Each structure stands twice: as structure tokens, then as C-alpha cells.
Structure 1
Amino acid sequence: MRGVAFIVAVTVVAEVGDFHRFDNPRQLMAYLGLTPSEHSTGASVRRGGITKAGSGLARRALIKGAWSYRMQARVSRKLHDRIEGLPKSVRDIAWKGQVRMCRRYRHLVLPGR
């Protein structure tokens, strides 16, 4: 993944520990404080910024890695060297994920979110 190099990966693994303790990705995101806060009263539901619970170090590393998706999807020379020995099916999945993340970022930014 673009933006997730050795330091980011080691930081997240060291801070989270055992990933098997989470049943689904939503639980992991809640643990890291990457879920939106919510203020609800009756039928009214208002969502706010991220909750910032859990490990600030892991959250900061992931957010800095996510900033690389602001740019257009591409494979840099450094990333090309990292994925060179991987099977084509793995590289195709990674490329599809990169395109999806870049498109998602643009979708969120366009309306001024």
C-alpha cells in the first residue's frame, strides 16, 4: 500500500498487538479512535470529528500514510521495487485498492467535506 512503509507498519503492529482480538474492521477502527463521534437526542443524530480514543501514535501514523492518497494513483519507483517479487494477483489487488482509495478521497473532497 502506498503510504504504508516499514515504519508505519511496525508502529501499527506494535501499538495494536494482536489483530485477532478484533472481530471486524469496525472494532479496530474504534480502538484506534478513527470512528466519528456522535451526538444523538431522540430522532436527531449529529456526527462529529473522529473520537481520538486509543493509541495516538498508531492513529497519527495511519493518518500520515493516508495522506498519500491525495495524489493520483500511481506506482512510484520505490513502491515498484517493493512489489517486484510479488505475484501478479497480489499486485492487481493492491492496484485496485490504490485506485479505490484515491477515488474515495476525491469523492470526499469535492463537495467540501
Structure 2
Amino acid sequence: MFLAVEIGDWDRFTGASIGAYLGLTPTEHSSGSSRRLGPITKAGNPHIRLLLAEAAWHHRPGYRVGTTLQARFDAATPAQAARGHEGNLRLHRRWVHFTTQHKRTTIANTAIARELAGWCWSLATTR
């Protein structure tokens, strides 16, 4: 809900630009053929970034549909429930991928938060 209030018009973004707007993309120092990526830019609303980072941590443990989530899936249309379920599975699979690649958890969490922002954008702009 907070994302919808803070962002307002989702149509002004693309799936790639929402991460940059929220400051979840790395800084870049490039010259000629050399390209170096630094820490995230931290542009945009810090509260949204914090909420996305906190939500990303929840996708780290194994994903199981509990009674509360099952009740929400039952209240949604089958297409919405399937999309929500697949999105949660995808974010958990990304955590597993980063863990097997021995990425630092804070860096992995930022990448998951950026992907979560893109997923929220896709949900908000789907007609």
C-alpha cells in the first residue's frame, strides 16, 4: 500500500527504471572500455527502499503457503493467486542462487529488493 501511495502514477516507469528511481541500482564509474560498479545510488525515497529491503529478507527462508496466505489466495482470482505464488517462488529462487554463488547477504538482499520493486511495478501496470 505504501508503494502505491508514494509512487502514485506507475505508468511513468518501466520495469528497469523503477529500481533506479528508488535508488536500488549501483553507481557506475566508466571510462572507455572500463566499467566499475559501486554501491547503490540511494536516490529516491529512503522509506520505500527500507520497506522493500525488509520485504526482501522475508523471501530468504524456504517458501511455504501457510493458512493466512492460503486464505488470501482463496480470496483472489486464480490468475492473481498463481502470479503471486510464482513471484514468491521466483524471489526465493533468487536467494538460493545468490547463496550458492557466495554473495554477501546484504548485496543479495538489495538485488532481491530491486527485483521486488520491478515485480510490484508489473502488478500495478497490468490491466
In structure 2, which of residues 62, 80, 84 is the aligned counterpart of residue 94 of structure 1?
84
Give the whole-Å Cα distance in 2 for the aligned partners of 1:20 and 1:89.
22
Q: Number of aligned pairs?
A: 103
TM-score by length of 1: 0.81
What is the Cα-based RMSD across aligned positions, in Å? 1.4
RCO higher in 1 or 2 (8 Å CA, sep ≥ 6)?
A: 2
Matching residue of 1:66 = 56
Alignment of 1:41-60 (within 5 A): 41-60=31-50
Local SS of the residue matching 2:72: helix
TM-score by length of 2: 0.73
Matching residue of 1:30 = 20
Q: What amino acid is aligned across from residue 7 of structure 2 in structure 1?
A: V
Matching residue of 2:113 = none
Structure 1 runs, 4 residues or longer, greater than 4 Å off: none
Q: 1:20-42, CA deviations, whole angstroms, 9 ceiling, x for partnerless residues?
A: 122x1111111101111111122
Among all aligned residue pairs of Structure 1 and Structure 2, give the percentage whose two residues are the same amino acid: 37
Give the whole-Å Cα distance in 2 for the aligned partners of 1:38 and 1:86.
41
Matching residue of 1:7 = none
Local SS of the residue matching 2:91: helix
Q: 1:37-85, CA deviations, whole angstroms, 9 ceiling, x for partnerless residues?
A: 1111221111122211000011111111111110112112221222221
Give the whole-Å Cα distance in 1 for the aligned partners of 2:58 and 2:31.
37
Contact 1:37 1:51 in 2 (8 A): yes
